[in-house]
A and B are shown apart, each in its own frame.
Chain A
């Protein structure tokens, strides 16, 4: 909303030449279980505004049909780690199929699980919060606020 009103002016031109590819996880809680496809469209509007429309690659299936990553329902705290990794294999393969270097996870549980899946299965994608990229595209992302960015973007926009 703040982007549409012009109060925030993200600029994706940082990625015009870099062409770093991003995919996004539709959080079950946000999309299928509450606000539906309209919020998934809003999410894509924001993602495209911050990384560039050409650098966004959707997973399949997606939006309300998206697969759960396995981070929700208390699974992360349940102690059943082996089962949680097996559960997340579907999500891991789905992310890899996009070829994206980054998976944006706009939910804490999704972020933890997708990050952990890459660690467990040896994936090379990075798992990043949406706020990190929004701040990056606004040119306001500080040096200590980049824990989840890869080396390719670690210094981008810093003086």
Chain B
């Protein structure tokens, strides 16, 4: 009779220790019942032969290399549907975020990295690299067009760098860069309610891809740039719809 190979005791995994150290209650990462409730509601299940349960099991069994190196960590959107369904509240999405951080920065997806770098580079923190002067110009241009072509909207405003407004409104770069007319409905709605609002040239862009890149320092730099923009104008409320 052949004897089964003794079950290997997993070596201590630095990754698991690290993630458990970050999370309250250790993120319950060892509490998985392998029930699969996470997989059932996961649209990423099956991509790259991976799913949330398998990802977790690989790591808890000491096979973290296989899990961490899978491009699947960029296909999970960290939507937290798995965590919501989990009877043991195992925080898999946080593990995905940490897994992304285990990739050397230059090996992370170029598109996400590029968007993050553009935000770091531009005054407005625009992931599309839009310059603040262009942002301001487009707003003025579109506003002028509305004033001239839409009867009844001659008084419509879209202030930039107005001091002391109630609301500082962020704007996703996509509108000013590719479809500026799409900003107008929002301006009209704000006009109808009499809102006291402003855009700003500093930190105006709503998006922040540095978080998706899992680059904490860059993420914080982008957030601080936006906060500084809000504070420099003395706005009371920061409206970011992202």
Contact = CB atoms under 8 A, between A and B. Distances in A.
A64 B80 CA distance: 10
A123 interface: no
A73 B79 contact: yes
A79 B109 contact: yes
A74 B109 contact: yes
A64 B84 contact: yes
Contacts of B46: 86
A28 B47 contact: no
Nearest to B213: A74
A91 B150 CA distance: 38
A108 B172 contact: yes
A18 interface: no
Nearest to A71: B77
A107 B240 CA distance: 11
A70 B186 contact: no
A145 B185 contact: yes
B188 A28 contact: no
B184 interface: yes
A142 B191 CA distance: 15
Contact of B186 (A68, A88, A131): A131
B87 interface: no
Nearest to B76: A73
Contacts, number: 135
A19 interface: no
B180 to A, nearest CB: 9
Interface stretch (B4-12, B53-61, B110-118, B131-139): B110-118
A8 to B, nearest CB: 6
A83 B184 CA distance: 34
A138 interface: yes
B193 A83 contact: no
Interface string B56-76: 000000000000000100111
A48 interface: no
Contact of B43 (A32, A70, A77, A80): A70
A78 B48 CA distance: 15
A135 B80 contact: no
Contacts of B150: 142
B199 interface: no
Interface string B96-112: 00000000000001111
Nearest to B188: A140
B47 A83 contact: yes
Nearest to B83: A32
B204 to A, nearest CB: 15
Contact of A68 (B77, B189, B212): B77
B135 to A, nearest CB: 16
B176 to A, nearest CB: 13
Given A2-B193, A80-B71, A108-B207, A141 B78 contact: no
A105 interface: no
B38 to A, nearest CB: 13
B175 to A, nearest CB: 9
Nearest to A69: B43
